Structure formats: C-alpha cells, structure tokens
Amino acid sequence: MAQYDVIIIGGGPGGYNAAIRAGQLGLKVALVEGRATLGGTCLNVGCIPSKALLHASELYEMASKDFASLGIDVSPKLNLPQMMAQKSESVTALTKGIEFLMKKNKVEWLKGWGKIAGPGKVSVKAADGTETVHDAKDIVIATGSEPSGLPGVTVDNKRIVDSTGALAIPEVPKHLIVIGAGVIGLELGSVWRRLGAKVTVVEYLDRITPGMDTETATAFQKALTKQGMEFRLGAKVTGAKTSKTGVDLTYGPVAGGAAETISADYVLLAIGRRPYTEGLGLESVGVVPDKRGVIANDHFKTSAKGVWVIGDVTSGPMLAHKAEDEAVACIELIAGKAGHVNYDIIPGVIYTFPEVATVGKTEEELKAAGVAYKVGKFPFLANSRAKVNHEAEGFVKILADAKTDRILGAHLIGPSVSEMIAEYAVAMEFSASSEDVARTCHPHPTRSEALRQAAMGVEGWTMQA
C-alpha cells in the first residue's frame, strides 16, 4: 500500500497532463491506466490516428486530382497497408513519448484498471488479476468517454464499425454509410471518400454539425457535397441487417413517411460519445453520475471531498485541449494555486478539406442572448496566398460587440484554418477589439491576412475585397 498526494485515474490528455503538472509542482503522484499504452482515446484511437489518415488521404487525393494542374504529372497508387503502418508508427512514437514524460516528471504509472474504494483509496487491478490498494489525499477522475450506441445498429467492428474500427478498415469500402454528420463522421467519411469510397451520410437533424455557426455549416456541407459526399438529412435510422459482405440500413424521414433501405459494405456509427464510468466505484464515495457524466459542482470538485473530475467524463466539449486545460487548472487548485479555465474561448476544429475552425459565440447564440454584434467577413478567394495555392475555398468571419468592438466569436472555413484560429483565441483571451487585430501588421502573402481583413470588415474598411 502506497501513499500519494494525488492519484489520477485515466491516462488520456486529461490524466497525463494532470500527472505532469502534479509532478512539476512537487506532488507525489500516480497515474492509473488499464490500456497497454498511455495517451487515452486521443493518442491511441482518436485525434492522432485520425489526423494521420486525414493527412495521408488528403495528399493522395491531391496527387490524384490536383498535381497535374500544377505541372506535376504523377500516377499515384494507393498502398493502404503502408498508410495504416505510418499511422501506427506515429501513434506508437507519441504514446512512448508520454511514457517518457511520466518518468521525467516522476509520475508512477500504476498499470491496471482503477476503482475508487472509499474516501482516499484507489484499488488497481492489473492484467494478471492482482489487486493493490493505494492511498491518496486527492483523487482525480479522468476516465474519458466511449462511443454512444444506437438500438438496432450493433457495432461488430467488422461491417458496422465505430470510430476505432473506421481507423482500421482493411480495404477501401465500395460504399460507406456514415450515421451521424458530426465531427467523427465527416472526418473519417472524408478519409475513405478520398481513398475511393462512395460515402453516404445519414443524419437525424436537418443540418450537419449541430451547434456550429449556421452560415459556416451550410458552406461546409456545400463543400463536402461538391467533393461527392452524399447527405440524407432529417433521417431516422430504424435498423441494420448485417451479412458477411455488407449491411442493409433502414431509415425513414424523421417527419414521418416511407422507410428506405440502402446497402453498403461498411457502416460507421458516429452519433456522439458518452462519459465512461464503468466499474469506477463512484458509489463508494457517494458520487452519482448523470447523462453528462460525473458532475463537478465547483471547479472540478465532485460532491465527494477530495474527488475531482476533468475531461470527457464530465460536462463541456469532448475535446483533448479542453481536457488538458482542465487538468492543469485542477492540479493547480489541488496544490493551492489559482487554476482557471476560460470556457468561452475553447476552439473547435474539424480537420477535413476545407477545414473548419471556430471559437467563441455563433451568430445564433448572440441573437438568442440579445447581444448587438457586428460581422466582418473575408473570402479566401480574395487572399493572394490562397489564390496562388489554388485553394481559395471558404471564408473568415468575425463577430464583434456592436458597442465595445470586443471580439465575441470567429468562424473560419478553408485550408489551414486549424492553425489560424489560435490568433483569434489569443486576441479574445486578451479581450482584444476587432480593431486591435485590424491594426496589427500581418505578413504578406499569407492566409493570416484574411484574419486581419475580416477584422477590418467589422468597421467596413476591408482593403482587398
């Protein structure tokens, strides 16, 4: 039995960043993780492998379709096993990197599945079945999330796959049906479409990417449709029949009407994720999770003294960087410092082509809150760098308070906007006005000039469009 200052349960972006910060602050810390590798969903079966496939498949499609117009004649041939292998190599390198960081920061990795065994106690069951109990002044729950299921659609990760299965389909599907027009469906649907699959997306709502600024979502759907992705919106899936070679999926209009059946060799179910608390022993400390997971009443504190919660397993956006920010703030509070997360400024990115990147409020949210705002908008069609690169799809839209000019939100669609959104996030963190960005010198020719031009647009003095 060992005594720790903090035991963290779960080795994903929430857990491993909490462990590093605890080590940095001189706390005696242990991290419990049952997977064979650290890094959680994000590194093992989420952010990292999906971005590896998005990058490779984007280059494959560019080489197939766009290189010739640049004067580069090539005949690319897909080597799917190699594409998968380079994905796995990246995952292995990064998960090993986390293991190194644990050692560097004197974090002890308790290998096995953790269970809260009463106030200040965590039991850990190793793969060989042995169980050890450890004491801690504070316990941080960082157990993440798992894919949500849908009655009548049984994931077997052969023909009906979840996101983990979709990262490892052994062949390019002839037809992939994606259930759910959210982040996972559109990213992984894009991967397989680029590699040659016909992709049909079946979505319950009458729009894609719910919660996203509507003008941006509409432009996004148009771009994906142009690439060949098909959408069946307002469609309720009622069942899926699997055979050895494929799946017959039945759905009907949500508004009522005749059911339809479509067939495909693979189906990806991606209708959201739910907090993961199985076997965690929450009852031993009187914590009762709800639909949003383990609830933090106040700054990551659960209803049980000394039990904290961060990341996907609690409320808020299920994003790696949100988990990471909560990890740092939570440990700083445990160490008696002033940890803080600004939930108004958490960027969200969809890594498709074009990419979509957003931060802050949408127009719909501002209207609903009765906030008077001004819009500045700039199309990449008028940005010289985007034009010379023949990648001029999309726009930058910035929303500023009509009275104070403070930036309230930004919504970007276009190539590389995942890298550009951080400029607006930093500006917002410093409570910048749109004029602050408009009067900041930006390098030419870069896509970042579109950020400035959109900010100029708030007061109507855009120069390049």
Could you confirm whether 442 is annotated as catalytic? no
- 252 exposed, middle or buried (CB, 10 Å; 0-12, 13-18, 19+)? middle
Binding track over 297-316 against ligand NAI, x by CB under 6 A: --------------------
Give the helix ranges, DSSP H, for 311-383: 320-334, 363-368
The listed partner (ligand NAI, ligand FAD, none) that binds 185, CB under 5 to 8 Å by sort, is ligand NAI
231 binds ligand NAI (CB under 6 A): no
The CA distances from residue 458 to 213, 399, 435, 455, in Å, are: 18, 8, 8, 5
Q: Using CA atoms, how far apart are residues 87 and 172, in angstroms rounded to an integer?
A: 16
Q: Using CA atoms, how far apart are residues 192 and 21, in angstroms rounded to an integer?
A: 38
Applying CB under 6 A, the span of 69-77, 182-190, 241-249, 364-372 interacting with ligand NAI comes to 182-190
Residue with Cβ nearer ligand FAD (30 or 408) = 30
Question: Which helix (H) or strand (E) is 47 found in, with range?
Answer: helix 47-65
The residue from 203, 312, 355, 423 that contacts ligand FAD (CB under 6 A) is 312
The answer to whether the CB of 268 falls within 8 A of the CB of 178 is yes
Q: Using CA atoms, how far apart are residues 228 and 221, in angstroms rounded to an integer?
A: 11
Residue with Cβ nearer ligand FAD (15 or 457) = 15
Residue with Cβ nearer ligand NAI (235 or 427) = 235
Q: 445: cis peptide before it, omega within 30°?
A: yes
Q: What share of the chain is helix, strand, coil (3-state, %, to 5)?
A: 35, 25, 40
262 binds ligand NAI (CB under 6 A): no
Residue with Cβ nearer ligand FAD (41 or 221) = 41
416 binds ligand FAD (CB under 6 A): no
Residue with Cβ nearer ligand NAI (258 or 372) = 258
Catalytic amino acids? 444
Write out the residues near ligand NAI by the rule CB under 6 A: 150, 179-185, 187, 202-205, 210, 237, 270-273, 317-319, 349-351
State the residues that interact with ligand FAD by CB under 6 A.
Answer: 9-15, 32-35, 40-42, 46-47, 50, 113-114, 142-145, 163, 184, 276, 280, 311-313, 318-321, 323, 351
